[in-house]
Structure 1
């Protein structure tokens, strides 16, 4: 067996997402499995180099997991020729400058989304990476989740017939911070720091819709801030200048209409924090993060509207659960493995910085649509 080491500068792993999903449940999980099997007796061993601004936090994470390499000096890390990949999970406002430095240093790029705070910046990154001939990828984790993988299986199998519509509900109540600690960082609610649910979630919806149903041709959105006053990590009140809710209608190629509500000011009355209902001529499905339920046209009941009588049937019980039929890995880890194989073996990989720019574009158009009260076409992007 031959072990090949790939060194990854991981910037932002002291944050919630960077630490839990990317460091612990992806890179360290691959190491716990003995590395990534490349075939023919080759194993890829990811070696993380932790990068961040808070020395004490980096040291604590490194000591907790037996890691020896960490630094608060990004420039020095990028100057190290033994570092192969730069990964970014910082706050969005700090991302562009860091990725530009990494591209200039010749590092392959893997980054969280959104890739930039505006479309011009996102396209600039994609062009720079292409010009520098470095490989690049953007985290698009939702399509690797069990529920959406089951949904993809149904689509590929022709279960729906002609797909007519998609309805998505995402969100939960994020505590304001005055009487209970909020479960999201305060920067998420400050536009000046790159916050807002539109710039956070519309990039997700772009790749989910694009991958499963088709290109987004137009967007109409209403964006608002339902909770204008919140309390930060120090318990101090601040004005929420970023949107906490976005309601979007997307027209897809083929005439499919998608409606997706995203809110951090909604209490959950559904089985999972995000659910997509897909309706087609031959059947319907409701997919969440892990589960997927279907109702075929041959088993569709005949509800009758009667407001004078209580319903005697449980509509949820009329749906059939789709079995797993396989073991699903962590979605972030699954995409990391594909990107690492892309880096080392040259295997195809389509979730690049241009794909990331499409997400930024949709968020930008969604905000513009809300501001101007009109629908916008979504132009095709190219480098």
Structure 2
């Protein structure tokens, strides 16, 4: 049995707490660790790091006791913990601007590194981080959770089965209404730094990293992008109840053209009210059939079930376009997407299997975000082959 000591930095945020700590790490501890392909058990021992002692104590004592029946270690002395020779893995889910410092310290001390995306605020620094990790010879990975969402896994299954025929286009709608905090009894669902460019925020910076690995793992390599971003709401209320100016984009719209000719259109917004099946829906249209996937569910319509609509605005629409779609059943038990990737990384650290989602893959996501920002600023198509190095 092998025990891995994991320094977890930045888990006091919403994503770090819910997805990484509670639904991944504590869930793995509760199930008795991770089984290797040889049947051996990998146990984990996390220590929580950050600047807010009160939040860390709450997570390490109250939340951990509720989930696994015992407390965790925690510390505000991040540098000292990272220098501890007993630490095997350093994980970071803090704000993007802090990530480079944590990753560099970990690489210099020979620790395995796992971190959230984007791995840096710009492509130059992202490449430098990947170079430094590779030069240090440390195992490393970046979170690419959406690859393991049940809805996306069903899309991949349909693709592999040839359901679509020739894939023609992909269209995705993502986002929801994030309250500004001005409304009575409605606090914002996302942290204020997300809406300040100077703090590493921005829809394009955040989400284009996701769209890069989602598109390239399912549909093909991105050749060029045409993008537009806006700051729709100029002011929001922060965690202390104070108004602040929004300097980052809260909506981003892009067309990605792939090397194989497929066109992908992705709309992302924190200022939209939903009238669709889920917070993220991805529609794939092909010559033989189409599919619409949400986070968990997936609906399909093959060529034989495709209706024959005609344009006539003078009468009520006679076709119920929803009725012609079939909901795919679950073909397996779907575990939490973050937890699945954590387990793969833990196995990789002890030498049990490869982990292709390295920081080098994270560089590609930042390069796409940079290309999107260039496209928006200069109002033109930007080739990815010319921006990547």
**TM-score band (shorter)?**
over 0.9
Equivalent residues in 2 for 1:321-336, closer than 5 Å: 321-336=327-342
Match among 269, 284, 287 for residue 281 of structure 1: 287
Whole-angstrom distance in 1 between the partners of 2:300 and 2:72: 49
Corresponding position of 1:95: 99
Contact kept? 2:254, 2:266, Cα under 8 Å: yes
Q: Secondary structure at the match of 1:285?
A: strand
Query: What stretches of structure 2 of length at least 5 have no aligned partner?
Result: 65-69
Q: Secondary structure at the match of 1:255?
A: coil
RMSD: 1.2
Match among 155, 162, 186 for residue 158 of structure 1: 162
Equivalent residues in 2 for 1:310-325, closer than 5 Å: 310-325=316-331
Runs of 4+ residues over 3 Å off in structure 1: 380-383
The alignment covers a number of residue pairs equal to 381
Cα distance, 1:381 vs. partner? Answer: 8.0
Provide Cα deviations, 1:64-103, integer angstroms capped at 9, x if missing partner. 1123411111111111111100000000011101110010
Corresponding position of 1:12: 10
Whole-angstrom distance in 2 between the partners of 1:263 and 1:381: 25
Is 1:79 the equivalent of 2:83?
yes
Whole-angstrom distance in 1 between the partners of 2:241 and 2:8: 30
Contact kept? 2:367, 2:388, Cα under 8 Å: no
Q: Secondary structure at the match of 1:137?
A: strand
What is the TM-score when the length of structure 1 is the normalising length? Answer: 0.97
Cα distance, 1:312 vs. partner? Answer: 2.2
Residues 157/41 of structure 1: CA separation in 2 closer, same or farther (3 Å cut): closer
Contact kept? 2:225, 2:381, Cα under 8 Å: yes
Is 1:343 the equivalent of 2:338?
no
Q: Secondary structure at the match of 1:217?
A: strand
Whole-angstrom distance in 1 between the partners of 2:205 and 2:82: 28
Whole-angstrom distance in 2 between the partners of 1:169 and 1:202: 13
Match among 226, 231, 248 for residue 242 of structure 1: 248
Contact kept? 1:178, 1:235, Cα under 8 Å: no
Cα distance, 1:263 vs. partner? Answer: 0.3
Q: Which moved more, 1:41-50 or 1:373-382?
A: 373-382
Cα distance, 1:158 vs. partner? Answer: 0.7
Contact kept? 2:46, 2:72, Cα under 8 Å: no
Whole-angstrom distance in 2 between the partners of 1:59 and 1:227: 35
Provide Cα deviations, 1:250-298, integer angstroms capped at 9, x if missing partner. 0012100000000000001101000011001111000110010111112
Q: Secondary structure at the match of 1:354?
A: helix
Whole-angstrom distance in 2 between the partners of 1:165 and 1:128: 38
Whole-angstrom distance in 2 between the partners of 1:35 and 1:237: 44
Is 1:225 the equivalent of 2:203?
no
Whole-angstrom distance in 2 between the partners of 1:176 and 1:306: 41
Whole-angstrom distance in 1 between the partners of 2:221 and 2:155: 17
Whole-angstrom distance in 1 between the partners of 2:72 and 2:237: 36
Q: Secondary structure at the match of 2:323?
A: helix
Whole-angstrom distance in 2 between the partners of 1:281 and 1:313: 21
Residues 381/153 of structure 1: CA separation in 2 closer, same or farther (3 Å cut): farther
Equivalent residues in 2 for 1:11-160, closer than 5 Å: 11-64=9-62, 65=64, 66-160=70-164
Contact kept? 1:283, 1:294, Cα under 8 Å: yes
Provide Cα deviations, 1:163-219, integer angstroms capped at 9, x if missing partner. 010000001011111112111111111000000110010000000000000111100
Whole-angstrom distance in 1 between the partners of 2:229 and 2:45: 42
Cα distance, 1:348 vs. partner? Answer: 1.5
Contact kept? 2:7, 2:87, Cα under 8 Å: yes
Q: Secondary structure at the match of 1:359?
A: helix
Cα distance, 1:305 vs. partner? Answer: 1.2
Whole-angstrom distance in 1 between the partners of 2:268 and 2:388: 28
Query: What stretches of structure 1 of length at least 5 have no aligned partner?
Result: none
Is 1:181 the equivalent of 2:179?
no
Corresponding position of 2:378: 372
Cα distance, 1:382 vs. partner? Answer: 7.4
